[in-house]
Amino acid sequence: MRIMMTTIFDNPHTGGLSTHVSTLKTGLEELGHEVDVVSFSDLPRWKQQLARGVSFLLNTLSKGKGIFIGHILRQHMLSKLIKRQSEDVHYDIINAQDVYSSLAAFESGVPVVSTVHGYFTFEAISRGSLVKGSWEANKIQKLERYVYRRTRRVITVDQRIRDYVRDLAGVEGERIYNFINIDQFCPRPDKREAVRKNLGFDEDDILLFVPRRMTKKNGVIYPVKALPHIHESYENVHLLYAGSGEEEKAIRQFAKQGGVENHVHFLGDLPHAEMNDYYTASDVALIPSIHSDGVEEATSISALEGMGSGTPVVASSIGGLKEMMTDRETGFLVQEQSTEAIRDAVIEAIEHPELREKVTTQARRMVEDYYSHRADANKFLLIYESVLEGSHE
């Protein structure tokens, strides 16, 4: 089968969508299929700059207009690219990864399946790109509804997003939880000391890894708020942030105010291939997501990568996180926005090696059984095949 995956966003980029695309591509190719990715990054440089420039300019005049017009520009540009490439190469199916790439792909005439990674409109509101209740927000949500009704099949990455699609569009999607490359993200205890030394940390340093984009819904402010309280018990704890975003300024301010700025490290947007080094080096991975403007964490790829890598994961008990993790069995679930709960779970993971060993062993086994890139690639293939069978009836 020849498959195109497409998105109006950059690829690769930091975030779960890009990771999903590359991991699914790997799984499908291992099963013998051909996969091409067509994204905003494949457009000529001047077109990328035009779309970004128009979006920025309009957003300075009126919040929301930039994202609305900018996304339409990206859609039309991507539509031409998809159509041109699908004329040169015969694709059996296109798997679009967002609302606007679905709209772009519809014009190609190739059967389109749409994967829904989140709450498109509400996530834009949460990160401050749209104003709740505005004309632009309402229009984009109408486009969401249209896409979910028109596409051949909707795939969602957790049950809550499936419910959202059903409530918004009256469409029953197929739920396939997020997944990881279990060969790439695996325990490497024999390399822990060398990796930590290479990263500039001593063996007795305690490293807490936050592999999250610095955006409000990811709750990234709470680990730095918890750090001074953790230091009351362990002064050698360091906080490592991988990612970037609008919350970085606030995190730096809290680190300075709390007197822990020398123990908070900003790694920036790391290449995905380097992430396993940080899981290997770290004592705990933190996934402190929160509810934000109707947005709730899906099945977190970062949490799965930590679990697959043999790192204890402390995560907020919300959304897809509590669907995929069992407290003190495959991870540590804590109350969202609670610095005390984060502190207590981190200290428990540090001080109880037998519990930590049980949690990490069971988490790895669960990831192998239920969140493998190979197993989930097969699930996607079944959907593609059913769509193609239906199109030939």
346-359: pLDDT as tens digits: 999 999 999 999 99
Return the domain boundaries, the chain: 2-179+372-391, 189-370
Helix (H) or strand (E) holding 239: strand 237-242
The pair of structure tokens assigned to 274 is 């380097």
Q: What is the pLDDT of residue 292?
A: 75
Q: What is the pLDDT of residue 297?
A: 72
pLDDT at 392 over 70: no
The pair of structure tokens assigned to 354 is 């037998």
pLDDT at 294 over 70: no
pLDDT at 13 over 90: no
Mean pLDDT of 89-94: 96
Between 313 and 212, residue with greater pLDDT: 313
Instruction: For the domain covering 189-370, report its CATH number.
Output: 3.40.50.2000
Q: What is the pLDDT of residues 20-64, one digit of tens each?
A: 999 999 999 999 999 999 999 999 999 999 999 999 899 888 888
d(Cα 46, Cα 42) in Å, to the nearest integer?
Answer: 11
Q: What is the pLDDT of residue 384?
A: 97
pLDDT above 90 covers a percentage of the chain that reads 76
pLDDT at 15 over 60: yes
Q: What is the pLDDT of residue 391?
A: 66
Alpha-helical regions (H) of the chain: 16-30, 45-61, 65-88, 99-106, 120-126, 135-150, 159-169, 192-199, 221-231, 248-257, 275-281, 301-308, 319-324, 339-351, 353-370, 373-391
pLDDT at 295 over 80: no
Q: What is the pLDDT of residue 293?
A: 67
d(Cα 123, Cα 297) in Å, to the nearest integer?
Answer: 10
Assign a CATH topology to domain 2-179+372-391. Rossmann fold (3.40.50)
**Inter-CA distances, 49 with 54, 76, 77, 245, Å:** 8, 15, 12, 20
Q: What is the pLDDT of residue 14?
A: 65
pLDDT at 16 over 90: no
Please provide the average confidence, as pLDDT, over all residues in the chain. 92
Strands 174-175 and 153-156: parallel
Q: What is the pLDDT of residues 64-85, one digit of tens each?
A: 898 999 999 999 999 999 999 9
Mean pLDDT of 119-147: 91
Domains 2-179+372-391 and 189-370 share a fold: yes
Phi and psi at residue 7, in whole multiples of 5°? -155, 150
